[in-house]
């Protein structure tokens, strides 16, 4: 009787785990289907709108974006560069300038949608705390190993790899609060930071 109970418990646990993985994959797939692409960045014009469907609402809830209306905030997400998923063992360069928004920030999240623990307790940069070049432009280096200048640490992630339901190790989220007209009307072509892969270990 005990062995039967243990087998049933193991089957139930496996079913729950598989269901969670299946749900996460389908939510991510559904979010991709509703996305507008701007280079490697993606956004959804339905996020925070009355037209947001169940899949998008589930994705927002899962990702913890706390989305408000588009006029108040827009979110662009990047999980790959030139088709290659972001990896913890690689170094990335983000280049940009100021953007037409009251305030903006770039934050790194682990594949599990949580901030990535690091000794520096540095999780993002915004338009107020960046060290800029003389012309106002800026560069952020995203890497696990310490870097000079605006360094955004991304590792090692504390998320168990066996639970991983996506192919990237981390992603970047650009938040634009009170975005300008270009983002609201032309999200696929509005000015965004450029992200390039510099190398991998």
CATH of the domain at 53: 2.60.120.600
Best CA proximity match to 106, nearest among 87, 86, 127, 91: 127
Confidence of residue 27 (pLDDT cuts 50, 70, 90): very low
Tally Cβ neighbours within 10 Å of residue 43: 23
Structural domain containing residue 107: 2-200
User: CA-to-CA distance for 151 and 115, rounded, in angstroms?
Assistant: 15
Residue-wise pLDDT tens digits, 78-136:
999 999 999 999 999 999 999 999 999 999 999 999 999 999 999 999 999 999 999 99
pLDDT at site 13 = 63
User: CA-to-CA distance for 32 and 77, rounded, in angstroms?
Assistant: 11
pLDDT at 162 over 90: no
pLDDT at 31 over 60: no
Residues 6+ away with beta carbon under 8 Å from 186: none
Regarding predicted confidence, which is higher, 16 or 1? 1
Q: In what order do the strands lie in the sheet with 36-38?
A: 36-38, 41-43, 73-78, 170-179, 101-110, 124-126
Share of the chain above pLDDT 90, in %: 60
Number of domains in the chain: 1
pLDDT at site 200 = 94
pLDDT at 52 over 60: no
């Amino acid at each position: 009787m005990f062995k039967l109970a243990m087998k049933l418990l193991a089957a139930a646990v496996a079913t729950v785990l598989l269901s969670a993985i299946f749900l996460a994959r389908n939510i991510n797939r559904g979010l991709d289907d509703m996305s507008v692409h701007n280079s490697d960045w993606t956004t959804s014009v339905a996020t925070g709108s009355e037209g947001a469907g169940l899949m998008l609402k589930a994705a927002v809830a899962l990702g913890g974006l706390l989305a408000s209306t588009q006029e108040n905030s827009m979110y662009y997400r990047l999980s790959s560069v030139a088709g290659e998923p972001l990896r913890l063992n690689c170094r990335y360069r983000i280049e940009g300038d100021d953007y037409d928004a009251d305030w903006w920030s770039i934050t790194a999240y682990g594949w599990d949608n949580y901030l990535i623990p690091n000794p520096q307790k540095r999780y993002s940069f915004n338009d107020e705390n960046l060290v800029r070049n003389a012309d106002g432009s800026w560069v952020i280096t995203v890497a696990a190993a310490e870097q000079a200048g605006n360094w955004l640490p991304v590792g090692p992630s504390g998320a168990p790899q066996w639970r991983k339901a996506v192919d990237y190790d981390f992603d970047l989220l650009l938040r634009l609060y009170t975005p300008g007209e270009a983002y609201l009307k032309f999200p696929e072509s509005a000015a965004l930071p450029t992200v390039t892969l510099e190398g991998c270990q």
